[in-house]
């Protein structure tokens, strides 16, 4: 009897995400569907609005993960920043709500996963494809910077893809707002994938960290591996601080030059997003107006 009682209480402690989640404030009910993926804190599911039948991506964060005040503030900050944004190349923010056990963030559904999965499958992608993606990432970041927001964790896995193969920049978990002109941010809680040298050196950082990450993304798309990759984080950080990377000779001159500008160790020397969009690599070569979904698995033939 005693054991049975124990088992029952244990079952109650394991809090499952309900099949129907309810946003009491906005009077919406969502049906939980397919599991989409898992992040540091969140599990992500398809959520269907039971009235309109519209399908969204729902990020579900257990409140048990938000016990420390600091964690709560980070989550509040992510929501505050993301909900203030509205751009075709940024994951749309639909709303957020909570129940006793979870916080739910309802987002635009990106049905074609991210550039991370495409990179794993394809490794090297062609210059026109790279230009197509860079144009949309640059446009999203230009808008972000105009809103005084620094993303601080631009990486392939945060560059989601819509059914139409359009870039949707997401995950504002490490993002911050610049409060006054010339402010240098001193702290960054987390581990950005493509971390800039000034962040490692704790010298104060700003918008230029996104240009650095964009340089790493550009390199990775065209070379097939990240510029400072080693088998340990410590060695990677040493290479970043020394600005030690090599561009293979097969990479064309305009690309090489843009990578070198973006990966400048002095942040003030890196191109802004506007300068990236007007760079020779971006403006002189062929820019496809759209890409077929077959690009996710194989190189397209541009006629
Ligand atoms: P965390 O911030 O905790 O790392 P993520 O934002 O990375 O969580 O989300 C975890 C996973 O959920 C992602 O890797 C991705 O597979 C999926 N995901 C997140 N947002 C979306 C979205 N808008 N559309 C489709 N899938 C998504």
What ipTM goes with this model? 0.95
Cα distance between residue 300 and residue 302, in whole Å: 6
Tell me the binding residues for ATP. 59
Write out pLDDT tens, residues 63-117. Answer: 998 888 999 999 999 999 999 999 999 999 999 999 999 999 999 999 999 999 9
End-to-end Cα spacing for the chain? 75
In contact, 92 and 166? CB cutoff 8 Å: no
Dist. CA 78 → ligand 1 center (Å): 14
- CA 254 to mean position of chain CA atoms: 26
* Known active-site residue 153: yes
Give the position, in ligand 1's atom list, of the atom nearest the Cα of 116: 14
Cα distance between residue 208 and residue 51, in whole Å: 44
As a whole number, the mean pLDDT across the chain is 93
Write out pLDDT tens, residues 19-46. Answer: 999 998 889 999 999 999 998 889 999 9
Judged by DSSP in three states, 96 sits in strand
- CA 79 to mean position of chain CA atoms: 14
Q: Ligand 1: which of 17, 32, 59, 157 to mutate, judged by most atoms within 8 Å of the beta carbon?
A: 59
| pLDDT, position 302 | 80
Pocket, ligand 1, Cβ cutoff 6 A = 36-42, 44, 57, 59, 91, 107-110, 160, 170-171, 173
Cα distance between residue 30 and residue 135, in whole Å: 35
Judged by DSSP in three states, 19 sits in coil
**What b-and-e string marks burial along 257-269, b requiring 16 or more CB atoms within 10 Å of the CB?**
ebbebbbbeebee
218: closest CA among 253, 172, 248, 263? 263
| pLDDT, position 153 | 97
Of 23, 153, 210, 279, the active-site residue reads 153
159: closest CA among 90, 234, 75? 90
Give the position, in ligand 1's atom list, of the atom nearest the Cα of 40: 3
Dist. CA 157 → ligand 1 center (Å): 9
């Amino acid at each position: 009897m005693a054991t049975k009682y124990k088992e029952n209480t244990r079952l109650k402690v394991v809090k499952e995400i309900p099949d129907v989640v309810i946003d009491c404030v906005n009077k919406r009910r969502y049906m939980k569907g397919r599991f989409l993926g898992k992040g540091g804190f969140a599990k992500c599911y398809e959520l269907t609005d039971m009235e309109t039948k519209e399908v969204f991506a729902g990020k579900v964060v257990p409140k048990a993960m938000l016990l420390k005040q600091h964690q709560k503030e980070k989550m509040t900050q992510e929501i505050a920043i993301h909900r203030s944004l509205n751009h075709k190349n940024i994951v749309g923010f639909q709303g957020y709500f909570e129940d006793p056990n979870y916080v739910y963030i309802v987002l635009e559904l990106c049905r074609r996963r991210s550039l991370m999965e495409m990179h794993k499958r394809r490794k090297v992608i062609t210059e026109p494809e790279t230009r197509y993606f860079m144009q949309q990432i640059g446009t999203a970041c230009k808008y972000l910077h105009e809103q005084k927001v620094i993303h601080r964790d631009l990486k392939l896995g945060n560059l989601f893809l819509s059914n139409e193969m359009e870039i949707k920049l997401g995950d504002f978990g490490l993002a911050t707002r610049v409060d006054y002109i010339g402010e240098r941010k001193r702290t960054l809680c987390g581990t950005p994938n493509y971390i800039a040298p000034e962040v490692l050196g704790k010298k104060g950082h700003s918008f230029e960290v996104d240009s650095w990450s964009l340089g790493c993304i550009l390199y990775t798309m065209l070379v097939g591996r990240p510029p400072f990759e080693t088998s340990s984080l410590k060695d990677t950080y040493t290479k970043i601080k020394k600005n030690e990377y090599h561009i293979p000779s097969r990479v064309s001159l305009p690309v090489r030059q843009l990578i070198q500008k973006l990966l400048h160790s002095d942040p003030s020397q890196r191109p802004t997003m506007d300068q990236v969009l007007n760079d020779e690599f971006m403006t002189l070569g062929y820019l496809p107006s759209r890409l077929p979904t077959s690009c996710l698995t194989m190189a397209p033939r541009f006629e």
